[in-house]
Amino acid sequence: MTDADVHLVAQPRLDTVVTDFYIDARRLRSDYAGMAWIGDRPDAESGQLGPDYRQRNVESQLFLPDTHWYDLDRLDDVEVQVSVGLLQVAGTALRTQGLVGIVTEPVAEFFEHPEGLPGVGLCLGLRGQIFSNLGLSYRVTVLCAPEAVLRRGETPQPDEESEESDSAG
């Protein structure tokens, strides 16, 4: 159960072909990055998050908006790395810095297409308990055989980003 909205705002995905050092094989490296605003979005003018200071549970599995769609049978040697960093803790209504709480177990997992199309896409999973609004940066790196990609992911345009993250929360 999630008591806090989570809004993803993706940066452009970077795709590069690299050579695996140990086996001299071509691999596709896809870097997905962006922001996850938890609880509320920052004010467009000030950049500050609101002082909605209350305890909320966070348990979200959100498709990365620019995910490639992968053939599950060709992901036997896939490597996935995820990192998340805290960017902002909102002040409280009393003009003090809010308590963060805890955001644990950031994971990137493959899930089937929500509309039943072939392939699996990447979801960012966040769990925890927060006491104020906060922002997290995320980076997910996927290393796999280039043939594992069934369909390239869309790169969201700026006006599409806000529409998708409105519907994802």
**Per residue in 79-116, pLDDT tens?**
999 999 877 665 666 655 556 677 787 899 999 998 89
**Residue 31 CA to its chain's centroid (Å):** 11
CATH of the domain at 114: 2.60.40
Could you give the CA distance from residue 68 to residue 64 in angstroms, rounded to a whole number? 9
Q: Are 161 and 9 in contact (CB under 8 A)?
A: yes
pLDDT at 33: 95
Out of 40-54, 57-71, 72-86, least confident range: 40-54
- Whole-number pLDDT of residue 59: 85
- Within a domain: 1: no
163 found inside a domain: yes
Q: What is the pTM of this model?
A: 0.79
Residue 108 lies inside a defined structural domain of this protein: yes
Split into its structural domains, the chain has a count of 1
Mean pLDDT lowest for which of 10-14, 16-20, 64-68, 164-168?
Answer: 164-168
The two tokens of residue 52 are 């909605």
CB 121 within 8 A of CB 72: no
In a domain, 90, yes or no: yes
At 122 the three-state DSSP class reads strand
pLDDT tens-place string over residues 47-59: 666 666 677 788 8
Distance CA 62, CA 4 (A): 13
Residue-range definition of the domain harbouring residue 79: 6-168
